[in-house]
Structure 1
Amino acid sequence: MSHAPSQPSHSSGPTGTPLLGDTVGANLARAVRAFPEREALVECATGRRWTYARFAADVDAVALGLRAKGVGRGDRVGIWAPNRAEWTLTQYATAKLGAILVTVNPAYRSHELEYVLNQAGVRLLVAARQFKSSDYAAMVDEVRPRCAALTDVVLLDGPDWDELLLTGRQGDPAVLAGIGAELSADDPINVQYTSGTTGFPKGATLSHRNILNNGYFVGELCGYTEQDRICLPVPFYHCFGMVMGNLAATSHGACTVIPAPAFDAPATLAAVAAESCTSLYGVPTMFIAELADPDFDSYDLSSLRTGIMAGAPCPIEVMKDVIGRMGMTEVSICYGMTETSPVSTQTRADDSIERRVSTVGRVGPHLEVKVVDPATGRTVPRGDTGELCTRGYSVMLGYWGEPERTAEVIDPDGWMHTGDLAVMDEDGYLSITGRSKDMVIRGGENLYPREIEEFLYTHPDVLDVQVIGVPDARYGEELMAWVRMREGARPLTAEAVREYCTGRLAHFKIPRYVHVVDEFPMTVTGKIRKVEMREQAARLLGG
């Protein structure tokens, strides 16, 4: 029986709403003129609140304070702190100066901090004094003598920040208007270090145009207006917080709510209830923790309408609970990476639950995606697996100071090669089937961990599961499942898993090894570190 040939796995996003051509500063000014008395920012830990008018005045004060310290267009300003209002103020202040904000992962230790400060040539660093077990001030003191470009450090919670604000408030805001008139939307304003799974992290360099448009269109697809209040328990130092959160909010006159300096499930639920948040962001592990909170039912989450789940594939049962128990009927799944500002594909509010749990949606406005054969670079037919590539306004300017590494991922035609395996269906919806390097080849069979993980999520005792490939003398690779158990459940054995899977999964897809853990090794952004899991597995199995 012959089939009509499938169309190629290529899709372009809608272009009905034009791209924004302004800078972050000019875009913020528009929101301030339209909504001066609406709330822009709420910090739950301290009870501090900013209307758009007050927020703009404080942004200007920080910008003028930084300028008084000699910071100008193109200078790199680092920020190293957990989520807090000063982080957001610094984000917008540097954008107004045309300075380049270098976001430093709060989990970094001194050697990683030193690498980033030197690699980006950071001139001034804004840093928290301490948070939890991290003594940031001591680590800054330790690395400072070895960071040639670093001339200034401004510590939060003390005289440094207060003086910066005081100086800035005495400055002339008209100066900023003059600077703004000279800036271009194509100027770089952000360097974000992507956690290198091998070697040192790379600094993705992003422009006003990259991140402002991405935040704006993510917000458009969430249906944001000035009535929305977005709860952000995701880290600001990453695109999820500062672009999909902060820039999506200010480009729509909406309010951002910071529930806590770092993720805390009860604090997040309390913030949604107290601030009547309409939207909540998180990686799947955050939603899993919120839904498992023993007091979950005591929080009034009736204000929630939408939100974004991203950063890792969403288990089907979790999505159903987010919609059913949290009331996030319009919750959106986003897929992206730092190098693409970050979002390339997104589900829409009217997509079925089935679409939202089995795909990462369709390509976003003004973007293109295609799925290619990694070996030949040719676009594969719809329904076939290949590497996902994306092109458009969102693709980064490049890796900071590393043209060779940039050329490895952005081809001469402007396509960003993501390293993720994907399948596009006939309607243009994409499913991510894994990282090209996560694919397991067992006895000649290509196995995609995601498919096996989704099946194991249906086990009543399994809270969370990750599947990896481990070396095997006979088959080349074997499957190993790392499992987090539900509270009170007995740890699963390999025999129990085999029994559960037999007859329901092909025999070669059944994990040979099972390892029960309390937590998975994670990056701070909530991505599972499968590289680390494979290293640990080799030791566990005596490899």
Structure 2
Amino acid sequence: MQASYVHGAHSLPLIGDTVGVHLDRIAERYPDRDALVIPHQCVRWSWRQLRERADRLAAGLLGVGLDPGDRIGIWSQNRAEWVLTQFATAKAGLVMVNINPAYRRAELEYALAKVGCRALILAPGFKSSDYLGMLRDLVPELDGAAPGELRSAKLPELRHVIRLGHESTPGMLDFDTVAQCATPADMARLHDVARTLQFDDPVNIQFTSGTTGAPKGATLTHHNILNNGFFIGEAMRLTERDRLCIPVPLYHCFGMVLGNLACMTHGAAMVYPGEGFDAGAVLATVQAERCTALHGVPTMFIALLDHPEFASFDLGSLRTGIMAGSPCPMEVMQRVIRQMHMDEITIAYGMTETSPVSFQTSVDDPLACRVGTVGRIHPHLEVKIVDADGRVVPRGDTGELLTRGYSVMLGYWGDDERTREAIDAAGWMHTGDLATLDADGYCRIVGRAKDMVIRGGENIYPREVEEFLYRHPKVLDVQCVGVPDPKYGEELCACIVLRPGEHADADEIRAFCQGQIAHYKIPRYIRFVDGFPMTVTGKIQKFMLRKEAADELGLHT
């Protein structure tokens, strides 16, 4: 019997650098090649220029009073300042905390407080979100504070707020000024700090929710994300001649690791087509910049293919890229290969806690493997599939996927109990995903043990939304499930039991959510029910609830 265990033995060693040191190496190797191209910001920086700007920003951050180990949040759409912050914080020994651009006030407060952010870099706003307004509502002391001397009742650790844009706001530093004010002494300190940093130091915190409630801060090291980015790029066969179009959000591992770090470790160009996803802008940017690679979730590729002017764009430069976030329909993959020239597109699978990628298809895998599987194990990692008793199952049998190796996070920030629940004594990360391994080592994800809903590449954790809806005074009980959707793959459905004598409608429930939780977490469907299907032991049968909801709504795959 062949066991469901694989390890990624590989001839290429792991990289023993910090992110900052490796950026320096790449800038020395490819000084004049394009590093960052953002047409809407008129940015076209070489690797030498990007390193110089990152160094000045890193020194400036130390100069305003931040110290290695301090947490600094970034709440912004895809912009040059985001990638500068990513590399500058790594060089300064700071821990960058990714804040989802869709977050609202309550989520922002939780994230900043949970990890004790000392500083926050934010854009003025994005789409319908007024970031400045939300922060000033949360921290009214800002208006009367001198920059760098904030004292907030709700966020006692927060001292510095740094804003993007050309205008100024009371109590806040201007982003450009931070770098411009870096002194020779600040630069000298930066060089001293660089000599003390270790690749196992934390460099990034990303919030990921769980079925037990509030979001958790997955804490990742230089070693975690630098090596994952490198081997992701290797799977795509990236070189310094490649130009990767990155329309996926940078706050997520997809943008900052599969995008930015895959490029940085290979000297390839990072190309941002816009602040958020826009199909027309992506197509125009690929054509204008002769991009050779493109990332996206399946819904993005569908939007590109269905764009009314798709046929007018020359996409002949494309070769590879990554489709991830949710399963890819065979028809979509065939169209991407045939109509977008992406013969070498790959599929990747992972989770934030594993930096993120554990499995990836190769550029020459058969089409069936690039649709029906998530590929084979990444280099230097181990995976086993286990049953409910923790025993490794035979190849082909379904069980929970566990990952071990360099990519596993340090833990959840400030939450030892949840860390121990996720990472066992032998170092295995329990993913909660149900999977199989075939005889050739290809992995299939067949279910989600924790009922996570994936809406167009965004992970929605029902318990988090349920706990928020419990705050509504009319809600007695609530269960959220995913139901089929032709565009997003899944949509969230909230099944609500109202308190006796109360009446409510769907609009009232949605209005309660507006501005408090991210838009993609607001349930598309709301059912009012008398109760939930239960086992004889009183456990809610979510699979039955999903079926009932889909039947009632007429939604079927």
TM-score normalised per structure 2? 0.79
Amino acid at match of 2:252: H
CA-to-partner distance for each residue in 1:431-476, whole Å, 9 max, x for gaps? 001201449xxxxxxxxx99xxxxxxxxxxxxxxxxx9xxxxxxxx
CA-to-partner distance for each residue in 1:274-296, whole Å, 9 max, x for gaps? 11111100111111111111111
Q: 1:244 to 1:171 in 2, by over 3 A?
A: farther
2:133 equivalent to 1:138: yes
CA-to-partner distance for each residue in 1:98-124, whole Å, 9 max, x for gaps? 110000000000111000110010001
How far apart are residue 169 of structure 1 and its match? 6.6
How far apart are residue 480 of structure 1 and its match? 9.0
Amino acid at match of 1:50: W
Q: 2: CA distance between counterparts of 1:527 and 1:287?
A: 21
Q: Give the secondary-structure state (helix, strand or coil) at the position aligned to 2:241.
A: coil
Q: 1: CA distance between counterparts of 2:193 and 2:415?
A: 29
Q: Which residue is equivalent to 1:314?
A: 328
Q: Give the secondary-structure state (helix, strand or coil) at the position aligned to 2:108.
A: helix
* 1:372-521 correspondence runs (5 A): 372-373=386-387, 375-438=388-451, 482-484=484-486
Q: 1:205 to 1:538 in 2, by over 3 A?
A: farther
Q: 1:536 to 1:403 in 2, by over 3 A?
A: farther
How far apart are residue 400 of structure 1 and its match? 0.3
Does the aligned pair in 2 maintain the 1:233–1:258 contact within 8 Å? yes
Q: 1:380 to 1:356 in 2, by over 3 A?
A: same
Q: Give the secondary-structure state (helix, strand or coil) at the position aligned to 1:122.
A: coil
Unaligned runs of 5+ in 1: 1-5, 440-448, 451-467, 469-478, 487-520
How far apart are residue 538 of structure 1 and its match? 6.0
Could you say what the CA RMSD is over the residues aligned between the two structures, in angstroms? 2.7
Q: Which residue is equivalent to 1:21?
A: 16
Instruction: Identify the range of structure 1 (99-108 vs 135-144) with the bigger mean alpha-carbon deviation.
Output: 135-144
2:250 equivalent to 1:251: no
Question: Which of residues 163, 172, 175 in structure 2 aligns to 1:155?
Answer: 163
Q: 1:114 to 1:300 in 2, by over 3 A?
A: same
CA-to-partner distance for each residue in 1:115-160, whole Å, 9 max, x for gaps? 0110010001000011111111111112223110000100000351
How far apart are residue 162 of structure 1 and its match? 2.3
CA-to-partner distance for each residue in 1:460-498, whole Å, 9 max, x for gaps? xxxxxxxx9xxxxxxxxxx99634379xxxxxxxxxxxx
Q: Which residue is equivalent to 1:300?
A: 314
Question: Which of residues 78, 81, 106 in structure 2 aligns to 1:83?
Answer: 78
Instruction: Identify the range of structure 1 (161-170 vs 272-281) with the bigger mean alpha-carbon deviation.
Output: 161-170
How far apart are residue 195 of structure 1 and its match? 3.6
Unaligned runs of 5+ in 2: 140-151, 169-173, 455-461, 463-480, 489-512, 531-548
Q: 1:407 to 1:485 in 2, by over 3 A?
A: closer
Amino acid at match of 1:419: G
Q: 1:30 to 1:295 in 2, by over 3 A?
A: same
Q: 1: CA distance between counterparts of 2:482 and 2:256?
A: 36
**How many pairs were matched up?**
464
How far apart are residue 163 of structure 1 and its match? 1.3
How far apart are residue 48 of structure 1 and its match? 1.2
Q: Which residue is equivalent to 2:225?
A: 211
Q: Which residue is equivalent to 2:195?
A: 181
Q: Give the secondary-structure state (helix, strand or coil) at the position aligned to 1:320.
A: helix
Does the aligned pair in 1 maintain the 2:102–2:519 contact within 8 Å? no
Q: 2: CA distance between counterparts of 1:198 and 1:268?
A: 37
How far apart are residue 186 of structure 1 and its match? 0.2
Question: Which of residues 52, 55, 67 in structure 1 aligns to 2:50?
Answer: 55
Amino acid at match of 1:436: A
Amino acid at match of 2:280: P
Q: 2: CA distance between counterparts of 1:270 and 1:234?
A: 16
Q: 2: CA distance between counterparts of 1:388 and 1:214?
A: 18
Does the aligned pair in 2 maintain the 1:62–1:165 contact within 8 Å? yes
Q: 2: CA distance between counterparts of 1:527 and 1:376?
A: 38
Q: Give the secondary-structure state (helix, strand or coil) at the position aligned to 1:350.
A: coil
Amino acid at match of 2:400: E
2:274 equivalent to 1:260: yes
How far apart are residue 84 of structure 1 and its match? 0.4
Q: Which residue is equivalent to 2:360?
A: 346
Q: 1: CA distance between counterparts of 2:307 and 2:290?
A: 19
Amino acid at match of 1:484: P
Q: Which residue is equivalent to 2:143?
A: none
How far apart are residue 172 of structure 1 and its match? 5.3
Q: 1:536 to 1:431 in 2, by over 3 A?
A: farther
Q: Which residue is equivalent to 1:104?
A: 99
Q: 2: CA distance between counterparts of 1:527 and 1:430?
A: 32
CA-to-partner distance for each residue in 1:252-305, whole Å, 9 max, x for gaps? 111100110011111111111111111100111111111111111111111100
Q: 1:54 to 1:199 in 2, by over 3 A?
A: same
TM-score normalised per structure 1? 0.81
Question: Which of residues 41, 45, 48 in structure 2 aligns to 1:46?
Answer: 41
Does the aligned pair in 2 maintain the 1:60–1:168 contact within 8 Å? no
Once the two structures are aligned, what percentage of the paired residues are identical? Answer: 54
